Amino acid sequence: MPRVLVQRFRVSPEAMDVNGHVNNLAYLRWMQDAAIAHSAARGWPVERYLAAGTGWVVRSHFIEYLLPAFAGEELCLLTWVAGLRRQSSLRKFLFWREQDRQVLARAETLWVFVESASGRPVPIPPELVSAFEVVPSEEDVLAPLRAGEVPGPTSAEGTP
């Protein structure tokens, strides 16, 4: 079970905006898909949340775009849990281009754990907390990248 989920993918032409680079909505979709995949890899697939009558909602997103990405490029999306509080979790993301060893974007999402029926925040249960190892420092994620070590599976083209 990876503490940092790594997904490799090729950027599809459908992800482009009118300026010819990746649309910001594609980044958000990739982030959400990676968060769901990481949770499933840690033993918490969507079905488990549904059975428990709980789930996650987004309180906020932040994305810092550093360099553009283009159709056909191979990227890595890395995600990890950077913090857990009583009713929320901070998840971070890095978009990495292995070819030139550049961070293209960094992002974070603040997720709030809620009861599905009411939509109200509830405490994160201990078994969910214990499923994730908190990685507090981005440098812990960047150091292996800089050393040329990028573990993780390759996923389908255009879909991290």
Per-domain residue ranges of the chain? 4-146
Which candidate, 147, 12, 117, places its Cα nearest to that of 70? 12
> What is the per-residue burial (b if ≥16 Cβ within 10 Å, else e) of 121-149?
eeebeeebbeebeebeebeebeeebeeee
Token pair of 159, please?
A: 């879909």
The contacts of residue 62 (CB under 8 Å, 6+ apart) are 107, 108, 109
Let me know: does 15 contact 28? Beta carbons within 8 Å: no
DSSP element (H, E) containing 155? none
What DSSP state is assigned to residue 16? B
Among the four given CATH numbers 2.30.40.10, 3.40.50.10420, 3.40.50.1220, 3.10.129.10, the one describing domain 4-146: 3.10.129.10
What sign does the dihedral 2-123-28-143 (CA atoms) show?
negative
pLDDT in tens, 137-147: 888 888 888 88
Its pTM stands at 0.91
Average pLDDT, the chain: 92
Categorise residue 53: left if φ over 0, alpha if ψ from -120 to 50, beta otherwise: left
Let me know: does 95 contact 88? Beta carbons within 8 Å: no
User: At 138, is the secondary structure helix, strand, or coil?
Assistant: helix
pLDDT in tens, 44-100: 999 999 999 999 999 999 999 999 999 999 999 999 999 999 999 999 999 999 899
Share of the chain above pLDDT 90, in %: 82
- Distance between CA atoms of residues 151 and 26, nearest Å: 23
Which candidate, 131, 129, 153, 152, places its Cα nearest to that of 141? 152
Band the pLDDT of 156: cuts 50, 70, 90: very low
- Distance between CA atoms of residues 69 and 100, nearest Å: 12
